[in-house]
Structure 1
Amino acid sequence: MSSYHHGNLREALVQAAVVLGREKGPDGIVLREVARRAGVSHNAAYRHFADRDELVREVARVGLDELSAAMQARVKRVRVTDPVARARRRLRETGKAYVDYAIAEPGLFATAFSVVALGELDGPYEHLSAALDECLAVGFLPPEKRDGAELSCWAGVHGFSMLYGTGPLSEAPKKERDADLDRLLDRIDDSLRG
């Protein structure tokens, strides 16, 4: 346990809670344990957070920010010059980054989606919307298929993430998981094509 001595106690509590979220998911974030890890009394923690839910929301924000950054980084690495191929690849990389993060950070991923509402998913949801808008702009995605496309794409990769992250397929070899993800992303690509 590292003791808190001075500085920003709220941030120290959030960071301790993030560690617990990574280790145990949202159910593992307990205010008393967060305070203990930060080296303060649980009463001190309650001066910064009204309740456990407020703290879990802070941890969820960290997870969503990390997921958003991972998606953005993958999209930026796309170097395809053909506009249609580039748009399709960026959408695909958005999905891959989502799944990769969920597999690499199952506790924080679960925490991120345990308490947030759709309106709070600004980063990851905006990246998906931007990728779909780009597919529309280059003529790959027809206008009549654009409305609601986020939901089908998101449901596909989120469901996949749950199955392979902590669900019944979590023990599948990486090679098999990657091949299955490619097939899923191919189906999404096919469904969006004009």
Structure 2
Amino acid sequence: MPKRGYHHGNLRQALVDAALELIEDKGPTGFTLSEAAKKAGVTPAAVYRHFDGRDDLIAEAARQGYLVFADLMEHAYQSGQPSALAAFEATGRAYLAFARKHPGHYIAMFESGISINRDPDLAAVAQTSWGVLEKAAADLSKHIPPEKRPPAAMFSAHIWAMSHGVVELFARNSPGNQSPFPPEDLLETGIGVYLRGLGLIDPD
């Protein structure tokens, strides 16, 4: 097996890439550091030059995932401007798109049990990505008087939870959970119902 890490001159990244493949195939607890080392083409001892253990390796995969996620969320937010509603809905769709396109990262971020607070860099990039959704939520509620305005952090968290639920139940091929509607449609209509209930957008 070629030593992919050394060949590319970046063993640390080769190990992360190997871990992402293993996470996607076996789940975050279904592989060992030895397997990651073998896939990267190095000895198990080489892993410890860069990572303290499997959780440290998965945390780095999650950190890199959040960087990609933050860029996608920001791009989605900007693509919806100048409409606050379009920008807000676009960030929800970006969540689904990210889960489909980057399953290894998604699992490392949200299904591995790794706390974002285990590392300051991981916590910072995670907050940056969710800050985009909260920013979109704040824009959407600007037309409501401050004393009647729902906290942006609250309803952006609700939309995050709704997006996560749609991904987990219907967008990642969960066995037995088949929806008669596309996940994007489920999320968009769900967001609409929720926002109308809060009085943030006008009824149809």
Question: What's the TM-score, normalizing by structure 1?
Answer: 0.81
- Name the structure 2 match of 1:145: 150
In structure 2, relative to structure 1, the CA distance for the partners of 1:73 and 1:148 (3 Å cut) is same
**Alignment deviations for residues 2-26 of structure 1 (CA, whole Å, 9 cap, x no partner):** 4133633222212222232344332
Picking from 97, 101, 122, the partner of 1:104 is 101
Matched, 1:33 2:32: no
| Amino acid corresponding to residue 87 of structure 1 in structure 2 | A
Is contact 1:132-1:141 (8 Å) kept?
A: no
Q: What RMSD over aligned residues (CA atoms) do the two structures have, in Å?
A: 2.7
What is the distance in 1 between the residues matched to 2:176 and 2:163?
Answer: 14
State percent identity of aligned pairs. 30
Is contact 2:24-2:107 (8 Å) kept?
A: no
- Name the structure 2 match of 1:127: 132
In structure 2, relative to structure 1, the CA distance for the partners of 1:2 and 1:134 (3 Å cut) is farther
Is contact 1:141-1:193 (8 Å) kept?
A: no
**Alignment deviations for residues 17-60 of structure 1 (CA, whole Å, 9 cap, x no partner):** 22323443323453111111211100110221111110010011
Is contact 2:96-2:184 (8 Å) kept?
A: no
What is the distance in 2 between the residues matched to 1:141 and 1:176?
Answer: 36
Is contact 1:22-1:105 (8 Å) kept?
A: no
In structure 2, relative to structure 1, the CA distance for the partners of 1:170 and 1:60 (3 Å cut) is farther
What is the distance in 2 between the residues matched to 1:153 and 1:34?
Answer: 35
How far did residue 128 of structure 1 move? 0.9
What is the distance in 1 between the residues matched to 2:159 and 2:190?
Answer: 10
Is contact 2:166-2:183 (8 Å) kept?
A: no
- Name the structure 2 match of 1:78: 80
Picking from 53, 57, 60, the partner of 1:58 is 60
Question: What's the TM-score, normalizing by structure 2?
Answer: 0.78
In structure 2, relative to structure 1, the CA distance for the partners of 1:192 and 1:169 (3 Å cut) is farther
| Amino acid corresponding to residue 115 of structure 2 in structure 1 | V
**Alignment deviations for residues 62-102 of structure 1 (CA, whole Å, 9 cap, x no partner):** 222222222222222225x4xxxx11111111111112222
- Name the structure 2 match of 1:160: 166
Aligned pairs, how many? 188
What is the distance in 1 between the residues matched to 2:145 and 2:39?
Answer: 51
What is the distance in 2 between the residues matched to 1:60 and 1:96?
Answer: 20
